[in-house]
Structure 1
Amino acid sequence: MKNIYQQLYKSSPRSLANLLISFYNVRQYRIRHGGAYQAFRKYFEETEKLSREEAEQEQLKRLRSFLRYTYEHSKYYHEKWRELHLSFDHLGWEEFNLLPFITKEELQRNLRDICTINPRTAIKFQTGGTTGVSLQAYYTPRNIQERFAMVDHFRSRFGFDFGEKTAWFTGKDLLNKGDVAKHRYWRTDFRNNIRFYSTYHLQQKNFIYYIDNFNKYQPKYFSGATSSLSEIARGGLKAGIKLNYRPEAVFPTAEMLMKQDRKAMETFYGCGVYDQYASSEGAPFITQCKKAHMHMELMTGVFEVLDTSGQPADFGELVVTSFTTEGTPLVRYRIGDMVEMNTKSVDCYLKYPIVKKIHGRLSDCIYSRETGKICQGNIVNSVKNIHGIIRFQIIQNNMDGILVKIVKSKQYIREVEEKKLLKELRIRLGKKMDIQFNYVNEIPRERSGKYRIIKNNCKEEI
């Protein structure tokens, strides 16, 4: 049926295609914004007022309930935890720490036994697989409603109200040949005031058509992959094309938000850029507050930041337990990201823990025999004073060398900038690492529609 619907959609005239999108989204938004959605919106508004101690008590209460459900309904976790003789009514953090970790590979391999609901009738989400492991997660309608309530609660801090005009950059295949030939890179859900823009045609020659349509449609809010929103911003600034109105907010998702991305977006869109962290398989949320701090949303799950020995640390691997994953429970899930916590006293109305920086995936690191593991955030800093780099990507296939792919502009003077960049990389990677440069016209996106700054294919371990 899905293929028949897609064929009908692709062969339809533009007006009918927009109608089909609107019709399809009616059902989607009924699921996402129906049921317990409003109750969760109220819940997040109320719990945001709690003290840190009260929030942690509520978090522990939710954890106990979630673990009981998981033990009673998931064959995989039941067998894993049986010998621990857990007391869910009185479970504390020491007992919680006895629970084993689970990796992406284990989740993928044991999905059938982990899942607590019928996959055929569940709400399905597919991760992009940018780490090499693509996952399918199964959600209950209630969990979906809670997750969308959290997202909308976060966005409401900055004026967002569902139903107002929104530009959404999507990795879905929206367009037919006629659309592309006429430079119409969008489709519209008129019922919900959402215009979906294609991420597959983001090239400098096409930016004028995107931006011209922004000026005609005038969406109050922009949302979508960070790289897509920043690419439009950079392209518009480069070409001197401006918005003739002022949007309310930009909400980048799915990828790390770098300082240079934020700066480009704030300059082009002329409004605030507000960040969040989650994942398609159901990680709990980290969101930006009104004071620009990134907070761990304690009502959505448990966050552990652990060093290489598995001990709590201010900088380390993020391990999550998510309350909104009853369909495919995530308990002490090694999601693969590195996090740095804020250790200074901060006066903020929101009492949840503050994340200083999300450094990205463990797999998005370079490994050096001299200097060890260098995370993506550190690598990104190496180019902040280099002029003329439009986009770059580092590929590591072995422990002794890397390939640096660069898309450059006319500002990039190779004799000067390459020397500066090499020096910055040497500071981070050491003197012995073989560093090669390759200048290309384009760096392709992953199948998920995202860009990867680091692609580490190295099979060795330090």
Structure 2
Amino acid sequence: MSGFQDLEQLPLLTKAEIRKNLKDMLWKDCPGGLFRYNTGGSSGEPLVFYFDRRRQAYDAAARAMTHRWWGIDIGDRELYLWGSPLEITKQDRLKDLRDRWTNQLLVSAFEISAERIPGLVEAFRRFRPDCVFGYPSTIDLFCRMAGAQGHRLDDVGVRVVFCTAEVLYDHQRESIASHFGGVPVVDSYGSREGGFINHQCSEGSYHVMDSNYVLEFLKDGMPAAPEEDGEIVITHLDAWGMPLIRYRTGDVASRRVEGCACGRGFSLMSKVRGRSTDFIVTPDGRWQHALSVIYVVRDIEGVDQFKIVQEAVDDVRVFLKVHEELYPADGDQRIARGFKKRMGETVNVRIERVSDIPREASGKYRYVVSRVAETATHV
């Protein structure tokens, strides 16, 4: 290979191929070691992958740089409304200590309920974050439920809200900005396995982190025309411990060709389309982020794909496509126990094995569908 243009000669990398060949993809003697992670499973296809310290450093540096675009510097207070597991592990406790040292506070986004709102508002008032980082659906829901209870959020110190991991819709941006007193609400795109890929500037453009990535936009396996939608394919230039070369993200966007008035020299892309997370509603009225049940299924060995459908507040169907030779004998029982632990013991969990889980017309999986949330009002 003599240049980035030669990448097209290499095959595309899929999640299925990573699962099948994971051990062969690792640089086992990578300086500083390797660190195991899981994706959230939000595409319906959970994935195990590894970071090395170089990649962690470059991703963190890119994030710190783009925070500075909005006046947030290293050491400023940052509150995460994030999808962390409910169970607290040793690793979680160590991360909590690290976050305290770096002026960061992690608040679980797994469930939002009327009973939790006063405590969450109090956490904001005690910590007084300069910025908030998290899922737009969760931040918006928290803001609206807090407002419905008469809590003010425009005086808690927040200067900017950073959204990621989901599509940020206009109505969410307007709601979040209004509740926090008119602060900027900024969008970014990335994934756990892919890293920190782009970020919005004050002009609203999405700037690609070109020093860390080569991005391709493919339509039917061929390069999409500028401004034409295509699947995002990434090559991470700093993922040495576990290379990601021409990795298919499953997300859809387009390459922009014009420059940005902000003057930054990064290449530009459109807003990502097609990613969204949902909520489920428990029998006692709690609204839980979809990741709370996604993690239950994701952590079972041998699960290839899944889809969760909440038919009623006490009735959930779980469609599973599994590798029979890997799926544990008590897998169904573990899933049912996990759902009941999060949603309540009265919930009926129906687990159904399928040979395939069809994609939506958009080409994406809709991994959680709540008939209850679709017909209910958050507040």
Structure-1-length-normalised TM-score: 0.56
Q: Secondary structure at the match of 2:222?
A: coil
Q: What CA distance in whole angstroms lies between the structure 1 residues aligned with 2:118 and 2:177?
A: 19
Equivalent position of 1:172 in the other structure: 84
CA offset at residue 116 of structure 1?
1.8
Ranked by relative contact order (alpha carbons within 8 Å, sequence separation 6 or more), the top structure is 2
Equivalent position of 1:132 in the other structure: 44
Judged with a 3 Å threshold, the aligned counterparts in structure 2 of structure 1 residues 145 and 224 are, in CA distance, closer, same or farther, namely: same
Q: What CA distance in whole angstroms lies between the structure 2 residues aligned with 1:347 and 1:453?
A: 42
Equivalent position of 1:67 in the other structure: none
Q: Which letter does structure 2 place at the counterpart of 1:193?
A: N
Judged with a 3 Å threshold, the aligned counterparts in structure 2 of structure 1 residues 162 and 441 are, in CA distance, closer, same or farther, namely: closer
Equivalent position of 2:120 in the other structure: 210
Q: Secondary structure at the match of 2:70?
A: coil
Q: What CA distance in whole angstroms lies between the structure 1 residues aligned with 2:8 and 2:150?
A: 55
Rg (Cα) greater in structure: 1
Q: What CA distance in whole angstroms lies between the structure 2 residues aligned with 1:191 and 1:461?
A: 44
CA offset at residue 289 of structure 1?
1.6
Percent identity, please.
24
CA offset at residue 257 of structure 1?
1.4
Judged with a 3 Å threshold, the aligned counterparts in structure 2 of structure 1 residues 272 and 445 are, in CA distance, closer, same or farther, namely: same
List aligned pairs for 1:241-320, cutoff 5 A.
241-243=151-153, 244-270=155-181, 271-283=183-195, 285-313=197-225, 314-320=228-234
Q: Secondary structure at the match of 1:162?
A: coil
Equivalent position of 1:101 in the other structure: 12
Contact kept? 1:230, 1:264, Cα under 8 Å: yes
Equivalent position of 1:459 in the other structure: 358
Q: What CA distance in whole angstroms lies between the structure 2 residues aligned with 1:191 and 1:293?
A: 33
Equivalent position of 2:239 in the other structure: 325
Contact kept? 1:301, 1:321, Cα under 8 Å: yes
Contact kept? 2:52, 2:241, Cα under 8 Å: yes
Equivalent position of 1:41 in the other structure: none
Q: Secondary structure at the match of 1:320?
A: strand
Judged with a 3 Å threshold, the aligned counterparts in structure 2 of structure 1 residues 304 and 258 are, in CA distance, closer, same or farther, namely: same
Deviates more, 1:212-221 or 1:299-308: 212-221
Stretches of structure 2 lacking an aligned partner (at least 5 in a row) = 89-95, 297-305, 310-318, 320-355, 362-379
Stretches of structure 1 lacking an aligned partner (at least 5 in a row) = 1-87, 177-186, 362-375, 377-390, 394-404, 408-439
Equivalent position of 1:116 in the other structure: 27
Q: Secondary structure at the match of 1:257?
A: coil
Q: What CA distance in whole angstroms lies between the structure 2 residues aligned with 1:285 and 1:129?
A: 19
Matched, 1:360 2:271: no
CA offset at residue 342 of structure 1?
3.7
Q: Which letter does structure 1 place at the counterpart of 2:249?
A: I
Q: What CA distance in whole angstroms lies between the structure 1 residues aligned with 2:207 and 2:74?
A: 23
Q: Secondary structure at the match of 1:97?
A: helix
Equivalent position of 1:338 in the other structure: 252
Task: Render the CA deviation track for 1:13-71: whole Å, top value 9, x for unaligned.
Answer: xxxxxxxxxxxxxxxxxxxxxxxxxxxxxxxxxxxxxxxxxxxxxxxxxxxxxxxxxxx
Q: Secondary structure at the match of 1:124?
A: strand
* Corresponding residue pairs, total: 290
Q: What CA distance in whole angstroms lies between the structure 2 residues aligned with 1:169 and 1:221?
A: 11
Q: What CA distance in whole angstroms lies between the structure 2 residues aligned with 1:174 and 1:159?
A: 32
Q: What CA distance in whole angstroms lies between the structure 1 residues aligned with 2:107 and 2:212?
A: 30
Equivalent position of 2:129 in the other structure: 219
Structure-2-length-normalised TM-score: 0.67
Equivalent position of 2:142 in the other structure: 232
Task: Render the CA deviation track for 1:234-259: whole Å, top value 9, x for unaligned.
Answer: 21233332123441111122222121
Q: What CA distance in whole angstroms lies between the structure 1 residues aligned with 2:150 and 2:135?
A: 23
CA offset at residue 172 of structure 1?
2.8
Contact kept? 1:211, 1:241, Cα under 8 Å: yes
Judged with a 3 Å threshold, the aligned counterparts in structure 2 of structure 1 residues 269 and 449 are, in CA distance, closer, same or farther, namely: farther
Judged with a 3 Å threshold, the aligned counterparts in structure 2 of structure 1 residues 336 and 443 are, in CA distance, closer, same or farther, namely: same
Equivalent position of 2:370 in the other structure: none
Equivalent position of 2:265 in the other structure: 351
List aligned pairs for 1:439-450, cutoff 5 A.
442=287, 445-446=290-291, 447=293
Equivalent position of 1:401 in the other structure: none
Deviates more, 1:189-198 or 1:100-109: 189-198
CA offset at residue 453 of structure 1?
12
Equivalent position of 1:154 in the other structure: 66
